[in-house]
Amino acid sequence: VKPAPFDYCAPTSVDAAVAALTEAGEGGKVLAGGQSLVPMLALRLARFDLLVDLNRIDELRGVRLDDGRVRVGAMTRQHDVGADPIVRASAPLLALATPLIGHFQIRNRGSIGGSVAHADPAAEYPAVVLALDGELDATGPAGTRRIAAADFFTGTWTTALADDEILTALRFPVWGPSSGFAVEEVARRHGDFAIVGAACGVQLDGAAIVRASIALFGVASTPVRAGNVEAALVGRELEQLDLAEVGRSACDGLHPPDDLHASSALRTTMASAVTTRALTRAIEEARRG
C-alpha cells in the first residue's frame, strides 16, 4: 500500500518549520520518527498535502537540566531518552517506560515528542508526562506557549496543539530524595501496545508517604490521573496501607473501553492489578533511598 502523494520539506530550524506549517494550513503535518504517521499514510488512514520533516532540526534534540527541571527536546529519540544519564537520575520514570515501547527498531527512530503529540491512549510516555506533571512547549507563529500535561491530552490521538504548532520540548520536575517510580502494564506480547498500564511515583519521609502520583493508560481516551487516591495516600504510614485496595480505588469511576483485546470489566480488573504492582515497586525503590 502506498501513501497518497504529498509535498515534503525538511527545514533546519523551528522557525522555518513553523512557517512551512502555517503556510500549508490544514494540509500540513509534522513528520518526526514516522513510526505512527507513516503507517497511517501508507494505509491511507490519513493524507496530507505537505509533510514538514523535523529530523534535520538540531535544536529539537537533547536532554539538559534547565531551571531545576529536566528539559527533553521533542525530537530526542526514545532510545536516547531511556539511556540518558540526566533522565535516569532526575526523571527515572521516563527511563523505566522506554523499554516497554514497541521494539528497539521503533525506539531507535521514534521520538518522545512524536509519542506525546500522537497521544495514543495506550502509549506509555503520555501517561508518564501526566504522572510527572510535565509541561509541554508548543511553538507556533505567535511564539512559544507552555501547556500543562493535565491540559494537553484532549482525546484519542488529539491534543491541545494547534495545526500550526510544533511540540518543541518537554519539561519534568525533579522529585526529591527517597522517591521511587515504576511502570507496570499488561500487553499480549512484548512490544505490543499495552492493554492497560500504570505509571506511579512515590516519595517517602521515613515510613510515611509525602507525595504520590498515579497515571493509568489504556483505560480511557486519554491517560488518567487517580487524583483522589493520590491525595488519600499523602500522610499515610506504609504499614497502614492495603495496596490491593488502593489499586481498586484508583479505578473507581473508570469506564474503560470494550474491544477485542479485553472487555471493560477485564480492563478494570487488570488496571487495578497493575496499579497495585506499580505502587508496590515504587515504594520498594523509595525505601531503598
Ligand X SMILES: Cc1cc2nc3c(=O)[nH]c(=O)nc-3n(C[C@H](O)[C@H](O)[C@H](O)COP(=O)(O)OP(=O)(O)OC[C@H]3O[C@@H](n4cnc5c(N)ncnc54)[C@H](O)[C@@H]3O)c2cc1C
Applying CB under 6 A, which residues contact ligand X? 29-37, 39, 54, 74, 101-102, 106, 110-111, 113-115, 117-118, 120, 123-125, 161, 166-167, 193
Residue 101 CB, shortest distance to ligand X, in Å, is 4
Residue 51 CB, shortest distance to ligand X, in Å, is 8
Q: Which residue in the block uniquely carries the three cell numbers 531545576?
A: 68
Rounded to whole angstroms, how far apart are CA atoms 270 and 217? 11
Rounded to whole angstroms, how far apart are CA atoms 65 and 169? 12
What are the CA-CA distances from residue 143 to residues 61, 138, 181, 207 (Å)? 19, 8, 34, 46
Residue 202 CB, shortest distance to ligand X, in Å, is 23
Given a contact cutoff of 8 angstroms between Cβ atoms, the answer to whether 251 and 216 are in contact is yes
* Residues contacting residue 60 through CB under 8 Å, at least 6 positions apart: 14, 54, 73, 74, 75, 76, 113, 168, 169
Residue 118 CB, shortest distance to ligand X, in Å, is 4
Backbone φ and ψ for 181, nearest 5 degrees, come out as: -140, 155
* Residues contacting residue 108 through CB under 8 Å, at least 6 positions apart: 77, 78, 79
Residue 132 CB, shortest distance to ligand X, in Å, is 16
**Which residue, 52 or 70, is less far from ligand X as judged by CB?**
52
Residue 126 CB, shortest distance to ligand X, in Å, is 8
Residue 263 CB, shortest distance to ligand X, in Å, is 21
Rounded to whole angstroms, how far apart are CA atoms 199 and 10? 35
CB < 8 Å & 24+ apart, contacts of 98-104? 98/124, 100/124, 100/183, 100/185, 100/187, 100/194, 100/197, 101/125, 102/35, 102/191, 103/191, 104/79
